[in-house]
Structure 1
Amino acid sequence: MIFLPELPPSPGNPAAGHRMIGRYPVHAPKQEQKARRIVSGLFDRVIVFAGLVALTFFLPRLMPGDPVELLLSADVVRALTPDEIEKLRRQFGLGGSWFEQFIHYLTTLAKGDLGFSLRHARPVLNLLLHAVPWTALLILGAMPVYFLLGLWTGIVSGEQPHSARDRIVTGAMILVASIPPFAAAIFLLLGFGVIWPILPISGAEPLFPPASSMGRVAAILRHAILPAAALALHEVARFFFLARGEAVILSARPFILNARARGLRGWRLHLHYYGRNILPMALARMSDSITTLFGAVFFVEVVFSYPGIGSLIYNAMLERDYILLQGAMLGLALVVLSLNWILDALVTRLVARG
């Protein structure tokens, strides 16, 4: 993508106000078209969210067992009468048929009530508000690392395709791309927590946090390094191959050859010529990256016993806590769809501007 100047408006110029490629005008999309695409994207995500509401209700109930059966199987629970069991099932939201439960679920959801987890003796919304910041810390810590590292290594590698540097970096990225997120988390845990124990391997903060606020922040960041690194390794190859492919194409373009002939090298060439033209496409891929990142954080948090939303969903599945599982999945879906729509709207504006 090359940024071209616009023609000044004039009565005798039919292409006034439009960009030109040679003698042919390229009409920029109207504001109404951009707004229509953005609103259409929002409507599509609302439809997806409505479908997820139904899936998060029915899918947990297809698993063998339910919260009441799991509770009654424990030795600490005394023998209950049928009336007491039925009352307990209503407290867990399992009273009546599936259709009646679903109508009750939609009614409470429309009021903004995600339910009450009897296992944790807390409202589901409070549990989510406690878990989401920890997951957001990992994702926000991993995103700039894999985004910038992937673009930089891809540009450096694609600048001189088929060179020794390109073969080495590409081979390393192929190896990284073949490692699933849970395996990357285990390798990092063994390497930097067991073999070379320099970083904490579980939890989000020490058992006895430092008294000072700065000391506690530093401890929290140290606990987040390994999980965030596992997430970054999961996504860095995606942006490397994207940037490398675009850099190979751009390297043969006249404006890059002209810049090199004028002596431009290093970061100025990479940032202003390669980076500026690769950035819109990389941002367009961020929406897909966020979706897969939230899927990977589930495994990473379980490996590192990190108290985020992934661990919350995992424990809810083990305990058959339907109410918590429904609320956590809907909360996660709402965050993913919102970020996805915001990034798509940003990319639409960037493409429209050229």
Structure 2
Amino acid sequence: MLGPTQISQQSGAPTVHPVVNRFVLLRSLMQRVVVFVVLLVLMSLLPRLLPGDTLDVLLDSNVQRGLQNSEIADLRDRLGLAGSLVEQVGRDLARLAHGDLGYSLLHGAPVSHLLADALPWTALLIALATPIFLGVGVTLAAEAGRQPGARADRVITTSMSLLTSIPPFITAVLLFLCFGILWPVLPTGGAEPLFPAETPLLRAQEILRHAFLPSLALALHEVVRYFFVLRGEVAVLASRAFVLNGRSRGISGWRERRDYFGRNLLAVVCARLGQSVASLFTASLFVEVIFSYPGVGALTYHAVLDRDYPLLQGAIAVLALLVLGLTWLLDALTEILTRRG
């Protein structure tokens, strides 16, 4: 009797060795390291090409009248704003290479402390948005793709097509208007009330209420992407022999959606999830500004306006490290799921 290896060799099927997968993952990791370094260089260079710098923001016209040019030049040197563009970028990269994110003069605090305070709020929004867009996106894709061309498919696909034309910041504004002004049932600003509750349970409920609308705006941004990708996969699966055989044996409803569609979509969901993480961090910039939410997105937005170079570079560096690391882990998980079939 021939073993599995001999059968695969005689049939001409290629044998995939685990080393190949490790090499692919290592190459993917090195590509992300290169992207991270290039991003750090760009985020140190590009903000300095904008008009004005940190000192120009700090010095208003009244204060500037009382300072001599020599004093302003001395301040610029002490703030690390003197020298050529290459020298300034080199100082930034050397500081980041030593793990020093710098100090924000406008906030009067180390950048690491500011990010440590803001990052949990952004993570909360993404953590709440992820199960929403995954659940809704997978469910609608399964309902539309299991019978392509049917009435449910036409209605759902048309609705998703309309939703995909709305940018995330417009979605956030519409939610703000609907549930904050026209029907004011949810808070539309901040992460907590002005006077937080004393008990942990009530405070957690207040935090969730404040985070619901921003997380819903992020979720709607990703639902459409998942729907169109997964609907095509479900439509292909619906024509496969094992699904047709299952239906002929009377399998339908929840069991069909879970066992025949859901399990076969896991690899696709994981592969798309890496892109969703990066997209959600980008969309949080607009959503947090609209809802005055104290996350990394709002912090980055104000850092651009204030020409706060250390804060902007630190925020981008931390976000890039998180996104690239998470996408690499999700790529590894997708590779495992794909190999398992």
TM-score, normalised with respect to structure 1? 0.92
Q: How far apart in 2 are the matches of 1:28 and 1:155?
A: 33
DSSP 3-state at the match of 2:172: helix
After superposition, give the CA deviation of every residue in 1:90-146 in whole Å (9 maximum; x if it has no partner): 343202222222222222112110110000010011111111110011111111111
Aligned-partner residue type, residue 236 of structure 2: I
Aligned-partner residue type, residue 34 of structure 2: I
Question: What percent of counterpart residues are identical?
Answer: 48
DSSP 3-state at the match of 2:268: helix
Q: How far apart in 1 are the matches of 2:265 and 2:220?
A: 21
Query: Which residue of 129, 132, 135 corresponds with 1:145?
Result: 132
DSSP 3-state at the match of 2:89: helix
Is there any run of 5+ residues in structure 2 with no aligned partner, and where? none
Deviation (angstroms), 1:24 = 4.1
Work out whether 1:306 is the aligned partner of 2:293.
yes
Q: How far apart in 2 are the matches of 1:260 and 1:117?
A: 63
Work out whether 1:198 is the aligned partner of 2:185.
yes
Aligned-partner residue type, residue 153 of structure 2: D
Equivalence map 1:46-61=2 (5 Å): 46-61=33-48
After superposition, give the CA deviation of every residue in 1:283-320 in whole Å (9 maximum; x if it has no partner): 11111222221111110001000000110011111111
After superposition, give the CA deviation of every residue in 1:254-287 in whole Å (9 maximum; x if it has no partner): 1111111111111110011011112211211111
Q: Which residue of 1 aligns with 2:149?
A: 162
Q: Which residue of 2 aligns with 1:320?
A: 307
Q: Does the 8 Å CA contact 2:274/2:330 hold for their aligned counterparts?
A: yes
Aligned pair count reads 341
Query: Which residue of 165, 169, 172 corresponds with 2:159?
Result: 172
After superposition, give the CA deviation of every residue in 1:196-219 in whole Å (9 maximum; x if it has no partner): 111100101111000111111110
Q: Which residue of 1 aligns with 2:322?
A: 335
Work out whether 1:223 is the aligned partner of 2:210.
yes
Deviation (angstroms), 1:60 = 0.2
Q: Does the 8 Å CA contact 2:214/2:287 hold for their aligned counterparts?
A: yes
Please, which moves more after superposition, 138-147 or 92-101?
Answer: 92-101
Q: How far apart in 1 are the matches of 2:61 and 2:149?
A: 63
TM-score, normalised with respect to structure 2? 0.95
DSSP 3-state at the match of 1:208: coil
Is there any run of 5+ residues in structure 1 with no aligned partner, and where? 1-9
Deviation (angstroms), 1:73 = 3.0
Q: Which residue of 2 aligns with 1:117?
A: 104
Q: Does the 8 Å CA contact 2:41/2:93 hold for their aligned counterparts?
A: no
Deviation (angstroms), 1:28 = 4.9
Q: Does the 8 Å CA contact 2:44/2:89 hold for their aligned counterparts?
A: yes
Q: Does the 8 Å CA contact 1:108/1:115 hold for their aligned counterparts?
A: yes
Q: How far apart in 2 are the matches of 1:256 and 1:66?
A: 62
Q: Which residue of 2 aligns with 1:7?
A: none
Aligned-partner residue type, residue 41 of structure 1: S
Equivalence map 1:1-354=2 (5 Å): 12-13=2-3, 15-16=5-6, 24=11, 26-76=13-63, 79-354=66-341
Deviation (angstroms), 1:27 = 4.2
* Structure number having the greater helix percentage: 2
Check 1:95–1:162 CA distance in 2 against 1; reply closer, same or farther (3 A cut).
Answer: same
